[in-house]
């Protein structure tokens, strides 16, 4: 994702390199946890990680690992292996990749460290429930299910009560798993750090409001890893503060992420991990910058429900009302507001075979966007990790046609 | 047997049946999408609960809302709404189950102009005290919601009465399954299929009486009936929208002695304790009944259940019908197979889209599978 950036020799810090270093150290810590008498919890990407951080349990994200599998183009082999194990090729490719990877010595970074416990929050999908049941049977470790009812239209008092009670049960689960008590003062601090991290991540993403945009959604897909995995740590805050300042600096000197930004696009759904570079080039060729996306913003989208002074108390609402755990019409509203906020000229929707709750409803969102904002949209049929569901030639043709529509709509040549 | 034709007719066109019923009785017709729907509350509101199975006919409107990787049940249900074929419905309720059904609820609410729409956002986890309380809370909220939508009071008495009706229905179907499991020749498999599905379509009061008569007839027939010599097979999977499967298996030399479908034995599993507060009783049954893989009770209860069924019903093998794109069941299949393999029970996987593979292909596959099964030793 660096290829299409403008030349700039004066950047004091290389944030991509820095993030790779942070993630490397994080994975080394996780893989040596046992030697250091630390516990490892596998947790879903939308799950409440803060209690783990507060209790010194190392969170590990199979979904982040799924992204690594996809980006390193190991998806097809690992998915095939899962299919040999009896899993249908129609199932989520993150799940297939992780399930098969757990049984082999291989995959990126030589596999994930084994979990001491599993924490599954179903605010992102029902797939994680099945996936974590499978891993709980495989690793024979305790599983906590954090059940966040979908907020189709309203967040009811019944839901709030249920999720809030689970927050307490969750902490008790962790206390049982570690044999230690929660330090509630520490929890409070971690909660504050988490909120600050999310605010900074939002500020990073918001730098793309500027024209030209200092970064693309492809950069955001890359920089996302920290807010997912190390939310609630001061390291994350330092990193995103630096990154935000760097992006603001680029804005101040008019440095855009692509050479000639003429069109601004919004991306919907997970990235197509094995074609990030290719896609970013294809769009840049048309002077189109993907300035924002619904995916990376999901990790700061429910900030409005968080009370930083009562993180645990407000977590019921903030963790339940995340982007994917709401009705399609609510998702469409958010898409419309992002189109306005970032000044998008078109929307690109990745119809992702792996993610039914994210993808079903996209056609309706597309119609709403076309009706309410009259901007062109493009649907790319693909899969986030399984390259067998992607056709480069077909996608290229469709991108070209879509960009032609955008050009016409914008009255350009 | 006298009611078989009525069951068959109701199933042949559930919406026409509902239209008739509505005309004759003036009952509001409430569609629902999943076996976790609290039918008793709908009945206590004086309305008629109608399970939606989705159509297999003329699917074209839903293609502009759903991608190709969506299951045929969700696609078929949406089609019935978009085409207005289901406009007899005064409302539809969507109990929370899988990701696809979850989005179907949104699409229905956003696109279907007739009838009201209600979500029943049930817990996914069923094994904790807080989940139980939440289940009860959600059901109570549903009671309030539907009484508002239909503008009727729902009394505890009406709930008790509905509970005793559904308990009687569940007991009758269980008895029919039991009798048939003992003497498979008493009733062709597709009639069994018709009975259990008709019980999600027909007027429940009327049905309770009809089923009791069917039970009595079967009991009569069972006297002096000889043991079956066919190979005994258990069906498992999600929901079965394929009546032909029964006849095909029977023609291939097998007898279906039980199933684990939500449109089958899972539907009538468990009774409601009518003695307690009816809402708590309804909740407790939903928490304890055989679980749908989109919900969680424990890590391997479903496999243990299927193993136990195979043992109890003396099934020589299990045929697993996997609806294409049904994630929860597809995730369960490998571990179910592992458990069955360990117990030495052969398992056959059949992936079904909206239609069965054409011609004799399916029958040949069933024959090959049945061939290798051992006959039950008398």
Are the beta carbons of A152 and B106 separated by less than 8 Å? yes
Mean pLDDT of A297-316: 89
Q: Give the closest-approach CA distance of B176 to chain A in angstroms.
A: 33
Tokens for B316? 């020589």
Contact list in A for residue B128 (CB cut-off 8 A) is: 169
pLDDT value of residue A115: 97
pLDDT at A6: 46
Among B236, B243, B241, which Cα is nearest to B266's?
A: B236
Given CA atoms B105, B239, B145, B80 in this order, what sign does their dihedral have?
positive
| Of residues B119, B325, B335, nearest to A152 (C-beta) | B119
- A15-182 topology per CATH: Rossmann fold (3.40.50)
Give the pLDDT band (50/70/90) at residue B58.
confident
* Residues B287, B132 contacting (CB under 8 angstroms): yes
Dihedral sign of CA atoms A70, A74, A77, A79 in order: negative
Which among B69, B104, B293 has CB closest to A90? B69
Percent of chain B with pLDDT over 90: 88
Chain A partners within 8 Å of B70 (Cβ): 356, 360
Percent of chain A with pLDDT over 90: 91
Q: Nearest-CA neighbor of A259 among A278, A283, A237?
A: A283
Q: Over the stretch B22-33, which tens digit does the pLDDT of each residue have?
A: 999 999 999 999
What is the maximal distance between C-alpha atoms in chain A? 67
| CA gap B321, B242 in Å, rounded | 10
Question: Chain B: nearest CA to A255, how far in angstroms?
Answer: 39
Cα–Cα dist A405/A375, whole Å: 9
Q: Where are the alpha helices (DSSP H) in chain B?
A: 4-12, 14-25, 39-44, 72-82, 99-111, 129-150, 156-182, 189-198, 204-222, 244-251, 278-288, 301-312, 327-342, 361-372
* Residue-level pLDDT at B377: 46
Q: What CA–CA distance (Å, rounded) separates B43 from B19?
A: 17
Whether A2 has a pLDDT exceeding 50, the answer reads no
- Pairing of β B231-237 and β B116-120: unpaired
pLDDT score for A250? 97
d(CA A213, nearest CA chain B) in Å: 33
Query: Which residues from A are below 8 Å from B103, CB to CB?
Result: 328, 356-357, 360-361
CA B99, CA A122: separation in Å to the nearest integer? 10
Contact B109 A329 (CB under 8 A): yes
Here the tokens at position A340 are 């306005």
A365, A409, A359: which is closest to A389 by C-alpha? Answer: A359
> Does pLDDT of B311 surpass 80?
yes
How many CB atoms are closer than 10 A to CB B349?
17
Alpha-carbon distance of A120 to A346, in angstroms, equals 35
Of B100, B109, B332, the CB nearest to A356: B100
Chain A: residue nearest B349 by CA? A86
Q: A119-128, B11-20, B253-262, B348-357: which has the minimum mean pLDDT?
A: B348-357
Q: How many CB pairs (< 8 A) connect A and B?
A: 145
pLDDT in tens, B159-187: 999 999 999 999 999 999 999 999 999 99
The predicted-structure confidence for B218-260, as pLDDT tens digits, reads as follows 999 999 888 777 899 999 998 778 888 899 999 999 999 999 9
Query: Quick one: average pLDDT of A76-90?
Result: 97
**Nearest beta carbon to residue B96 from set A131, A150, A327:** A150
Find out whether A84 and A76 touch, Cβ atoms under 8 Å: no
Q: What are phi and psi of B197, to 5 degrees?
A: -75, -35
- Of A94-108, A369-383, B73-87, B92-106, give the lowest mean pLDDT range: A94-108
- The CA–CA distances, whole Å, from B352 to A103, A261, B54 equal 29, 48, 15
| pLDDT over 90 (residue A235) | yes
Whether B72 has a pLDDT exceeding 60, the answer reads yes
The pLDDT value recorded for residue B276 is: 72
Length of chain B (residues): 378
Condensed to tens digits (0 to 9), the pLDDT of residues A105-128 reads: 788 999 999 999 999 999 999 999
Residue B188, pLDDT score: 92
Please tell me the distance from the alpha carbon of residue A41 to that of residue A38, in angstroms, as a whole number: 10
The answer as to CATH 3.40.50.12280 being correct for domain B4-150 is no
Average pLDDT, chain A: 94
Q: Which of B34, B97, B102, B132 should be substituted to probe chain A, the one whose Cβ sees the most A Cβ atoms within 10 Å?
A: B102
User: From B125, which residue of chain A is nearest by alpha-carbon distance?
Assistant: A147
User: Does A120 sit behind a cis peptide bond, omega within 30 degrees of 0 on the bond before it?
Assistant: no
Which residues lie closer than 8 Å to B134 by C-beta, 6 or more apart? A149, A158, A159, A161, A162, B123
- End-to-end CA gap in chain A: 27
Cβ A363–B324 below 8 Å, yes or no? Answer: no
Q: Which of A197-206, A354-363, B56-65 has the lowest mean pLDDT?
A: B56-65
C-beta atoms of A169 and B324 within 8 A? no
Least confident of A10-19, A305-314, B81-90, B132-141: A10-19
Judged by average pLDDT, the poorest of A186-195, A294-303, A360-369, B213-222 is A294-303
B334 contacts in chain A (CB < 8 Å): 85-87
Q: Does B109 touch chain A (CB under 8 A)?
A: yes
Task: Tell me whether B322 touches chain A (CB under 8 Å).
Answer: yes
**B282 pLDDT above the threshold of 80:** yes
Nearest residue to A119 via CA among A99, A108, A104, A135? A135
Of A23-32, A75-84, A298-307, B208-217, the least confident: A298-307
pLDDT at B376: 56
Strands A377-382, B116-120: parallel, antiparallel or unpaired by DSSP?
Answer: unpaired
Which one-letter DSSP state was computed for residue A6? P
CA-nearest of B100, B88, B101 to B30 is: B88
**β B231-237/B317-323 pair status:** parallel
Residues 262-301 of chain B whose Cβ lies under 8 A from any Cβ of chain A: 293-294, 296, 299-300
| pLDDT of B37 | 97
pLDDT tens digits, A135-177:
999 999 999 999 999 999 999 999 999 999 999 999 999 999 9
Q: What is the DSSP letter of B318?
A: E
From start to end of A84-202, where are the E strands?
117-121, 143-146
- B131-B132-B134 Cα angle (round to 5): 65
SS3 state of residue B275: coil
If you average pLDDT over every residue of chain B, what do you get? 94
Residues 6+ apart with CB under 8 A from A409: A345, A346, A374, A375, A376
Candidates A90, A126, A328; nearest CB to B98: A126
pLDDT band at B128 (very low <50, low <70, confident <90, very high): very high
Give the one of A87, A145, A149 whose C-beta lies nearest to B121's C-beta: A149
pLDDT bin (cut points 50, 70, 90) of residue A3 is very low
Tens of pLDDT, residue by residue over A17-53, are 999 999 999 999 999 999 999 999 999 999 999 999 9
**Residue B324's pLDDT band (cuts 50, 70, 90):** very high
Strand, helix or coil at B44?
helix
Under an 8 A CB cutoff, do A85 and B334 touch?
yes
Which residues in chain B have their CB less than 8 angstroms from residue A172's CB?
none
Nearest C-alpha neighbor of B80 from the set B102, B43, B107:
B107
| Burial class of residue B361 in the structure, from the number of CB atoms within 10 Å of its CB (0-12 exposed, 13-18 middle, 19+ buried) | exposed
């Amino acid at each position: 994702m660096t290829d299409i950036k403008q030349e700039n020799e004066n950047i004091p810090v290389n944030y991509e390199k820095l993030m790779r270093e942070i993630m490397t150290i994080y994975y080394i810590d996780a893989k040596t946890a046992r030697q250091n008498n630390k516990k490892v919890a596998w947790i879903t990407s939308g799950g409440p990680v803060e209690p783990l951080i507060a209790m010194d349990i190392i969170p590990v994200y199979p979904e982040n690992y799924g992204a690594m599998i996809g980006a390193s183009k190991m998806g097809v082999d690992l998915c095939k292996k899962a299919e040999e194990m009896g899993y249908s090729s129609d199932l989520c490719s993150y799940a297939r990749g992780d399930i098969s990877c757990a049984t082999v010595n291989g995959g990126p970074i030589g596999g994930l460290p084994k979990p001491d416990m599993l924490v599954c929050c179903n605010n992102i999908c029902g797939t994680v429930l099945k996936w974590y049941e499978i891993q709980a049977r495989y690793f024979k470790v305790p599983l906590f299910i954090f059940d966040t009812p979908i907020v189709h239209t309203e967040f009811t008092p019944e839901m709030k009560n249920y999720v809030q009670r689970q927050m307490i049960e969750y902490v008790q689960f962790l206390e049982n798993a570690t044999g230690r008590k929660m330090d509630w003062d520490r929890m409070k601090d971690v909660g504050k750090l988490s909120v600050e991290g999310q605010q900074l991540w939002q500020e990073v993403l918001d730098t793309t409001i500027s024209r030209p945009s200092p970064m693309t959604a492809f950069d955001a897909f890359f920089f996302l890893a920290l807010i997912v995995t190390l939310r609630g740590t001061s390291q994350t805050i330092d990193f995103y503060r630096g990154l935000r300042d760097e992006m603001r600096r680029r804005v101040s000197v008019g440095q855009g992420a692509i050479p000639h930004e003429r069109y601004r696009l919004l991306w919907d759904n997970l990235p197509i991990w094995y074609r990030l570079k290719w896609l970013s080039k294809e769009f840049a060729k048309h002077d189109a910058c993907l300035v924002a996306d619904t995916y990376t913003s999901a990790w700061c989208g429910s900030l409005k429900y968080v009370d930083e002074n009562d993180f645990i108390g407000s977590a019921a609402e903030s963790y339940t009302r995340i982007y994917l755990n709401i009705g399609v019409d609510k998702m469409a509203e958010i898409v419309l507001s992002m189109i306005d906020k970032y000044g998008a000229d078109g929307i690109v929707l990745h119809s992702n075979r792996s993610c039914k709750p994210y993808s079903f409803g996209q056609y309706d969102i597309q119609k709403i966007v076309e009706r309410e904002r009259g901007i062109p949209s493009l649907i790319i049929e693909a899969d986030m990790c399984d390259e067998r569901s992607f056709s480069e030639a077909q996608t290229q043709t469709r991108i070209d046609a879509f960009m032609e529509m955008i050009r016409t709509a914008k009255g350009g040549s | 047997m006298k009611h078989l034709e009525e069951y068959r007719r109701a199933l042949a066109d559930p919406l026409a049946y509902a239209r008739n019923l509505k005309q004759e009785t003036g009952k509001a017709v409430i569609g629902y999408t999943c076996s976790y729907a609290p039918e008793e509350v709908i009945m206590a509101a004086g309305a008629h609960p109608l399970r939606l199975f989705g159509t297999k006919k003329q699917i074209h409107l839903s293609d502009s809302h759903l991608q190709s990787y969506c299951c045929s049940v969700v696609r078929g249900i949406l089609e019935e709404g978009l085409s207005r074929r289901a406009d007899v419905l005064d409302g539809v309720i969507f109990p929370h189950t899988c990701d696809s059904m979850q989005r179907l609820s949104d699409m229905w609410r956003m696109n279907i102009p007739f009838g009201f729409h209600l979500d029943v956002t049930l817990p996914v986890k069923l094994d904790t005290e807080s989940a139980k309380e939440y289940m009860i809370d959600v059901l109570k909220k549903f009671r309030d919601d539907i009484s508002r939508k239909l503008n009727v009071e729902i009394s505890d008495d009406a709930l008790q009465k509905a509970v005793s009706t559904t308990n009687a229905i569940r007991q009758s179907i269980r008895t029919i399954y039991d009798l048939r499991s003992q003497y498979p020749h008493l009733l062709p498999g597709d009639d069994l299929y018709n009975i259990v599905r008709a019980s999600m379509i027909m007027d429940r009061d009327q049905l309770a009486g009809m089923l009791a008569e069917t039970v009595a007839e079967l009991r009569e027939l069972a006297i002096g009936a000889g043991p079956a010599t066919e190979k005994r097979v258990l069906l498992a999977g999600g929901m079965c929208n394929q009546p032909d499967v029964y006849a095909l298996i029977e023609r291939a030399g097998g007898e279906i002695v039980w199933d684990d479908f939500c449109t089958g034995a899972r539907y009538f599993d468990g009774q409601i304790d009518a003695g307690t507060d009816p809402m708590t009783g309804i909740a407790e049954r939903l928490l304890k009944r055989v679980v749908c893989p989109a919900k969680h009770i424990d890590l391997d209860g479903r496999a243990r259940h299927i193993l136990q069924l195979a043992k109890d019903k003396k099934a020589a093998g299990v045929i697993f019908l996997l609806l294409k794109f049904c994630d929860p069941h597809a995730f369960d299949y490998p571990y179910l197979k592992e458990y069955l393999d360990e117990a030495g029970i052969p398992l056959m996987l059949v992936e079904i889209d909206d239609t069965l593979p054409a011609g004799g292909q399916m029958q040949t596959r069933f024959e090959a599978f049945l061939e290798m099964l051992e006959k039950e030793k008398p």
